[in-house]
Amino acid sequence: MIRFLNVYYPTRTVMLFFFEALIVSSCFLIATIFLLGPDAYLTLAYEQGALKITGVTILSVMLSYYFDLYEPQIVSVPLEIYFRILLVLGFDCFVLSALIFFYPEAAMPQHVYLIGFTLLTPALIVWRKAYSWLVSRRRFCERVYVLGAGEYAKTLVASLQSRPDVGMEIVDWQDVQLEQSERKQHWINALERISEMKPPVNRIIVAMEHHRGELPVQELLNLRFQGIVVEEVGALRERLSGKIQLDGLRPSDFLYASGFRMRPSQQFTRQIASILAAATGLLLFSPFFPLVMLAVRMTSKGPIFFKQTRVGAGGRLFKVVKFRTMRTDAEAAGAKWATKDDPRVTPIGRFMRKTRIDEVPQLWNILRGDMSFVGPRPERPEFVPMLSENLPFYYLRHLIRPGLTGWAQVRYGYGATMAETREKLEYDLYYIKHQSLGLDLIVMFETIKTIVRRRGAQ
61 and 184 part of one domain: no
pLDDT of residue 166 exceeding 70, the answer is: yes
45 and 170 part of one domain: no
The pLDDT tens digits of the residues spanning 357-376 come to 889 999 999 999 999 999 99
Residue 257: inside a domain: no
* Residue that is last in its domain, among 136, 160, 181: 136
pLDDT of residue 440 exceeding 60, the answer is: yes
Residue 249: inside a domain: no
Cis preceding linkage at 78, omega within 30: no
Greatest mean pLDDT among 92-101, 140-149, 168-177 lies in 92-101
Residue 246: inside a domain: no
pTM value is 0.84
Contact (Cβ atoms closer than 8 angstroms) between residue 312 and residue 371: yes
Closest CA to 15 of 135, 121, 180, 156: 135
The pLDDT tens digits of the residues spanning 257-309 come to 777 777 888 888 889 999 999 999 999 999 999 999 998 888 888 888 889 89
277 and 352 part of one domain: yes
Percent over 90 (pLDDT), the chain: 33
Report how far residue 244's alpha carbon sits from residue 253's, in angstroms, rounded to the nearest whole number.
Answer: 10
DSSP for residue 6: T
DSSP labels, 206-219: E--S--TTT--HHH
When pLDDT is cut at 50, 70 and 90, the band that residue 340 belongs to is low
408 and 286 part of one domain: yes
When the pLDDT of each residue in the chain is averaged and rounded to a whole number, the result is 86
Q: Three-class SS of residue 203?
A: strand
Average pLDDT over residues 119-136: 92
Contact (Cβ atoms closer than 8 angstroms) between residue 129 and residue 85: no
Contact (Cβ atoms closer than 8 angstroms) between residue 108 and residue 54: no
* Residue that is last in its domain, among 89, 118, 136: 136
The pLDDT tens digits of the residues spanning 220-254 come to 898 888 888 998 888 888 888 888 888 777 777 77
406: β partners: none
Percent over 70 (pLDDT), the chain: 94
Range of the domain at 169: 141-241
55-56-60 Cα angle (round to 5): 120
Q: How many Cα atoms occupy the beta-carbon half-sphere of 139 within 13 Å? A: 2
pLDDT of residue 182 exceeding 90, the answer is: no
Range with the lowest mean pLDDT among 115-129, 346-360, 377-391? 346-360
Residue 272: inside a domain: yes
Contact (Cβ atoms closer than 8 angstroms) between residue 77 and residue 68: no
| Total count of domains within the chain | 3
**CATH code at position 150:** 3.40.50.2300
120 and 176 part of one domain: no
| Strand ranges (E), 272-367 | 305-311, 317-323
Phi, psi of 8 (to 5 degrees): -95, 130
Residue 172: inside a domain: yes
Residue 300: inside a domain: yes
186-189-192 Cα angle (round to 5): 150
Give the strand pairing for 203-206 and 168-170. unpaired
* Residue that is last in its domain, among 103, 136, 169: 136
275 and 332 part of one domain: yes
Residue 250: inside a domain: no
